[in-house]
Chain A
Amino acid sequence: MAFDPSVNTKASGKAWSLARGYFVILSLPVLFLLLFFLWPLFTVVTRSFGVDEPLFAHFLTVFDRSSYIKVLGYTFQVAATVTVLCLLIAYPVAALIARLRGGWLQISFALILVPFWTSTVIRTYAWMVLFQRKGVINGFLLDLGLVDEPLRLMHNNIGVHIGMVHIMLPFMLLPLISAFRNIDPSFMRAAGVLGANPVRAFWHVYLPLSMPGVSAGVALVFITSLGFYITPALLGGAQNMMVAVLIEQQVSITVNWELASALATLLLLLTVALYILYDRVARRAGAGGVLE
């Protein structure tokens, strides 16, 4: 709406004080973010360039060490797999929960939120109890005679993925449920009335309308998964090393903060790049970007 002070001074004065009110309210969180988020981020990025070293020296070290590249690659691969698995599991479950009303809805939310509020370390240890060589699952399988020797459920990729999917599921479920609940059920009925079979109605009506939830869930799960530390450490094996472990080694064992910052900056850049790419693809698919 055009802003013309000469036409209606009263209204514009109101708009002005409203804007000033917003400014005051917003300035606090903005200041907070500047101080406690952007400034540390800025120091990390500047530190990654070092002081006296040639430009990009620490980044070159990262690329020089094959282990670092492998770990970065593994980190993104795990995050991607976990995101896809979470989406596949959460989509139908969330669609079902979104249709529930009353007590069942509350029970469903409790089932999502209670693990969500439980410490990651405790949940990871619980998986260890289940997955161990002499753990609950192997004991059960051996007793039933279904296997001759214990299955290796942890110290490998399987353990890492199950543990991480379990921990990340609420981050996918909650935005999906919220998106599904915003879909007017009459749209699907209308699609049916107009002759679309259920598959077609889902594909052309329900799925596009649910995309904001999918986008939010995917972004949340993927980005959070990139920073995982304890779950892969406890449930994984030799090869399951996340980039957070490398960064921690550089921060607190060898105290090479420049190298740690270079790794962190690289992780940030790759994440932002993927995020922009994802946003583009999502927009092109007509599903709405993450920011919409």
Chain B
Amino acid sequence: MDEAYKAAYFDSFTEKTGIEIITAPYAGLAKIKSMIEADNVDLDILNIDAAEAPVAGNNGWLEPIDWGLTDRSAVLPAAAWDDHVYAEVAAKVVAWNTDTLGDNPPGGWVDMWNMEAYPGRRSLWKQAFQTLEVALMGDGVPKDQIYPIDVPRGLAALDKIKPELIWWESGGQSAQFLIDGESDVGSTWNGRVYQPKVDGAPVNYTFNDALFVSGAWCVVKGASNVGWSMEFIAHTLEPERQAIYSENIPYGPVVPAALEFIPADRLPLLPSSAENIDKGVWSDFQFWAADGEEVINEFNEWLLS
């Protein structure tokens, strides 16, 4: 991902402005909070999980995005916020091992919940977020009605597949389970199974019922270069730049105009291409920022029961 960002945004920004982008290891909420508390903000621009951005925003840790520099309406409505903008469109997808389910591929989460038609082991993320959404869709809730999360229904749905359910805790593990046949069908991010599939691993996936997720660009409150940071974020939203990013990594652009610059054979691999964007639904990060702690606690209690 770092390399795709470099190819698409960092080098061209330096070329345009003479400003070098220096990257630092992933800074999550804990790092931002400690920087702000210590009044020692040594980062300007953040690329954090989109789920973290509204939490940071609600805590007052982010500068407002300068929407005067970019046409906000050119960005996917779901991706543009007052204090952050999504960096790409990635997808939580249903994927399966083709040795066991290759002749009978599941078409979405409902099929993953159908033990008779698609027998075998299931694997899901051991986190409340993204997993409860998947469970609700698996239980037949239409994808535009999964928020606000009906926690009891989601947990009841998970109960139905619990005997065959194993949990993954990292993205690498989610793909490895499916490739090794440790699991027959499960959730993973499209970027995790794309390359193994190309390399011939026995794994496949579909964008049906995809849950769209993303990283988010934002600027830390009190950053020393707010102006240039805003210029940089505007730079990332140029369609040509977004297209180069999506050619380097199988994540889609947040600016639909970028699709015109992407080779046609690449488009089926991108979650936000015209043919895929309507198959999925955006994860509601605002819901999780507001009610996450309570839901996570309920989910943990269910896990341990």
Interface of B is mostly: helix
When chains A and B are docked, how far (Å) is the Cα of A239 from the Cα of B300? 9
Q: B292 near A234 (CB under 8 angstroms)?
A: no
Q: B303 near A239 (CB under 8 angstroms)?
A: yes
- State whether A132 and B180 are in contact (beta carbons under 8 Å apart), knowing that A65-B297, A65-B301, A241-B303 are contacts in the complex: yes
Q: B304 near A255 (CB under 8 angstroms)?
A: no
A155 interface residue (CB < 8 Å to B):
yes
A257 interface residue (CB < 8 Å to B):
yes
When chains A and B are docked, how far (Å) is the Cα of A253 from the Cα of B182? 28
Candidates A70, A133, A257; contact of B181 at CB < 8 Å: A133
Q: A66 near B303 (CB under 8 angstroms)?
A: no
Q: A255 near B29 (CB under 8 angstroms)?
A: yes
Q: B292 near A239 (CB under 8 angstroms)?
A: no
Report how many A-B pairs have Cβ atoms within 8 Å: 62
Q: B181 near A237 (CB under 8 angstroms)?
A: no
Question: Which of under 10, 10 to 19, 20 to 34, or 35 or more describes the interface residues of B?
Answer: 20 to 34
A251 interface residue (CB < 8 Å to B):
yes
Binary interface profile of A, 74-91, with partner B (CB < 8 Å = 1, else 0)?
100000000000000000
Q: A134 near B180 (CB under 8 angstroms)?
A: yes
Give the shortest distance, in Å, between A222 (CB) and chain B (any CB): 22
Chain A residue numbers with a CB within 8 Å of B162 are: 238
When chains A and B are docked, how far (Å) is the Cα of A70 from the Cα of B303? 11
Q: A249 near B296 (CB under 8 angstroms)?
A: yes
- State whether A155 and B293 are in contact (beta carbons under 8 Å apart), knowing that A66-B301, A67-B301, A132-B180 are contacts in the complex: no
When chains A and B are docked, how far (Å) is the Cα of A253 from the Cα of B296? 10
**CB-based nearest B residue for A229:** B169
Give the shortest distance, in Å, between A139 (CB) and chain B (any CB): 11
A246 interface residue (CB < 8 Å to B):
yes
Binary interface profile of B, 123-146, with partner A (CB < 8 Å = 1, else 0)?
000100000000000000000000
B226 interface residue (CB < 8 Å to A):
no
Chain B residue numbers with a CB within 8 Å of A9 are: none
Binary interface profile of B, 284-305, with partner A (CB < 8 Å = 1, else 0)?
0000000011001100110110
Q: B30 near A238 (CB under 8 angstroms)?
A: no
B153 interface residue (CB < 8 Å to A):
no
Q: A254 near B303 (CB under 8 angstroms)?
A: no
**CB-based nearest B residue for A73:** B304
A256 interface residue (CB < 8 Å to B):
yes
Give the shortest distance, in Å, between A50 (CB) and chain B (any CB): 14
B12 interface residue (CB < 8 Å to A):
no
Q: A255 near B169 (CB under 8 angstroms)?
A: no
Give the shortest distance, in Å, between A162 (CB) and chain B (any CB): 17
When chains A and B are docked, how far (Å) is the Cα of A217 from the Cα of B167? 33
Q: A132 near B33 (CB under 8 angstroms)?
A: no
When chains A and B are docked, how far (Å) is the Cα of A239 from the Cα of B304? 5
Q: A237 near B167 (CB under 8 angstroms)?
A: yes
**CB-based nearest A residue for B177:** A132
When chains A and B are docked, how far (Å) is the Cα of A233 from the Cα of B303? 13
Q: B180 near A238 (CB under 8 angstroms)?
A: no
- State whether A238 and B304 are in contact (beta carbons under 8 Å apart), knowing that A67-B297, A252-B29, A254-B293 are contacts in the complex: yes
When chains A and B are docked, how far (Å) is the Cα of A74 from the Cα of B55? 30
Binary interface profile of A, 102-142, with partner B (CB < 8 Å = 1, else 0)?
00000000000000000000000000000011110000000
**CB-based nearest B residue for A69:** B304
B152 interface residue (CB < 8 Å to A):
no
Give the shortest distance, in Å, between B179 (CB) and chain A (any CB): 10
Chain B residue numbers with a CB within 8 Å of A237 are: 166-167
Chain A residue numbers with a CB within 8 Å of B182 are: 132-135
When chains A and B are docked, how far (Å) is the Cα of A255 from the Cα of B173? 25
A266 interface residue (CB < 8 Å to B):
no
Which residues in window 26-56 of B have CB below 8 A to A? 28-30, 33, 55
In the A-B complex, the 5 residue pairs with the closest CB atoms: A67-B301, A67-B300, A254-B293, A238-B303, A252-B30
Interface residues of A (CB under 8 A from B): 65-67, 70-71, 74, 132-135, 155, 233-234, 237-239, 241, 246, 249, 251-257
What are 16 inter-chain pairs, A to B, with CB distance below 8 A?
A: A67-B303, A67-B304, A71-B300, A132-B180, A132-B182, A133-B181, A135-B182, A234-B169, A238-B126, A238-B167, A238-B304, A249-B296, A252-B29, A255-B29, A255-B33, A256-B293
Interface residues of B (CB under 8 A from A): 28-30, 33, 55, 59, 121, 126, 162, 165-167, 169, 173, 180-182, 292-293, 296-297, 300-301, 303-304
Extra pairs beyond A241-B300, A251-B30, A257-B33 (11, CB < 8 Å): A65-B297, A65-B301, A67-B300, A67-B304, A70-B304, A71-B300, A132-B181, A134-B180, A238-B162, A252-B28, A255-B33
